[in-house]
Structure 1
Amino acid sequence: MPETATSTVDQTPTENRYSRYKLPAAVAVLVIFHAVGFWGLLFSGDPVYFQSLTPLNLLLTNLLLFSFHRRWNIAFLVFALVVMVAGFMAEVVGVHTGLLFGNYRYGASLGVHLWEVPLLIGLNWLMLVYATGHIANYTRLHWLLKAVLGGVLMVVLDFFLEPVAMQFDFWQWKDDRIPLSNFSGWLLLAILLHIFFQRANFFKRNSLAPFVYVVQLLFFVGLYLFLQV
């Protein structure tokens, strides 16, 4: 069974004194990142500039998230690599064939492209699978149902993300219509990757992971609601 139990780590008095502030500080930084982005996209008068900062926001969010990961091992590195490559290649297939998700193309907002897909998209898949997998692990469900729950959480986020993505040039759908195949494709791939998450043998106690998902969800829900007005 994958190891999920906590361990006792010897800490100096100074480390003990400041460790209680690490999580609140990280959450505060996450909120600030996304609050600035929210203001910039909607109210700054220069949304294109803030769109260009999206890759930086994604990189900083991942840096924070994985700074809270404990017990780095080969199993985790393999998991991370497989999820990033699988997510990226699924997008390559999707962009070039219309399979999996539907007919779409990426804009410039997500940074450098390879094969017409932003390089950072694989990292985004890893972040979402990792964060929602931790949320699913708070339940007492069977591991397979946890994988399904994780996939559903990702689709919920994607539902609010899609109209925002089209507005801010993350990607564009053919005829500006988001097909049902996008959500079914996301769910299928997400569940498969969550099955890997559940069975992979690495330590799965990251206290920041749920906050990453919640902050991102609130960010995109907020943008979605403002764009409906």
Structure 2
Amino acid sequence: MERAKNLKPIASDNSVRAKNRICIIVIFLFHLVGLTGFIIPSLTVLFITLVPWHLLLMLGIIVYSYDNFDSRFLLFALTTFVIGFLAEYIGVHTGWLFGHYQYGRTLGIKLFEIPLMIGVNWFLLIYAAGVILQRSRLQNTWVRIFTGSMVLTLLDVLIEPIAIHFDYWHWLDAGVPFKNYGCWFMLSALLLFIFEQFKFKRQSIVGPALLIAQFIFFAVLNLIY
């Protein structure tokens, strides 16, 4: 009987590892498919319409992979969504944050001229960066927040040309203002600070895999367009 009891956690660990492997495979597979669709001209229009569904799929994968889903995780997700959405609302309607810009059609359904998927995107990016830093050797909270904010700002540098090209959003200024990157850094820092306050238990590499896939996706598109 003791041997049977001891086998239970081993089986459970194996099942968690298998689940995480599947999640990572799906993440990279769908980013590769999306990359192919964006590169091949005859498929581009179709794949642009699939962008919101892709983000929803990534959201589902992150939620599915989260270890011990609870109300705290849901609260963090909602908090990140709301703050990210409100920041974008202020940016679009006042220009105080990021600069003067407007959203196109690619990110789907809008509320007050802001795509709902932008809140989802902020959650995905902050969660992924937060888990990477959680798994890192950086011990100081402020160093982790600074590092994560720099990483996400670097990602935005890669995103901007592609977002403009594929009508995610467009700038009313001449080019992308430096203010945009400063606000990306500050908003990322605020949301990563909130992530730190929740003190989540160590999570799997599914979140980091998503962030790596995003870097690869936008880096390759920058080389092509």
TM-score (norm 1): 0.89
Q: CA deviation at 1:126?
A: 0.6
CA contact (8 A) 1:76 1:201 kept: no
Match of 2:208 among 207, 210, 213: 210
> What are structure 2's unaligned runs of at least 5 residues?
1-5
Match of 1:58 among 55, 58, 66: 55
Query: What residue number does 1:123 align with?
Result: 120
CA contact (8 A) 1:104 1:174 kept: yes
Query: What residue number does 1:85 align with?
Result: 82
1:134-186 per-position Cα deviation (integer Å, ceiling 9, x unaligned) = 11121223011111111111111111000000000100011451010110000
Query: What residue number does 1:3 align with?
Result: none
What's the % identity of the aligned pairs?
35
Query: What residue number does 1:182 align with?
Result: 180
Alpha-carbon distance in structure 2 between the residues aligned to 1:12 and 1:24: 17
Corresponding pairs, count: 219
Match of 1:70 among 61, 67, 71: 67
SS at match of 1:40: helix
1:51-82 per-position Cα deviation (integer Å, ceiling 9, x unaligned) = 00000111111111221111233332222111
Q: In 2 relative to 1, CA 176–57 (structure 1 residues): closer, same or farther, beyond 3 Å?
A: farther
Alpha-carbon distance in structure 2 between the residues aligned to 1:50 and 1:9: 45
- Coordinate RMSD, CA, aligned: 1.9
1:93-172 equivalent positions in 2, closer than 5 A: 93-137=90-134, 138-172=136-170
CA contact (8 A) 2:97 2:180 kept: yes
Q: CA deviation at 1:24?
A: 2.5
Q: In 2 relative to 1, CA 18–44 (structure 1 residues): closer, same or farther, beyond 3 Å?
A: farther
Match of 1:223 among 217, 221, 224: 221
Query: What residue number does 1:34 align with?
Result: 31
Indicate the structure with greater helix content. 2
Q: CA deviation at 1:131?
A: 0.3
CA contact (8 A) 1:83 1:125 kept: yes
Amino acid corresponding to residue 139 of structure 1 in structure 2: R
Choose 164-173 or 206-215, whichever is displaced more. 206-215
CA contact (8 A) 1:139 1:146 kept: no
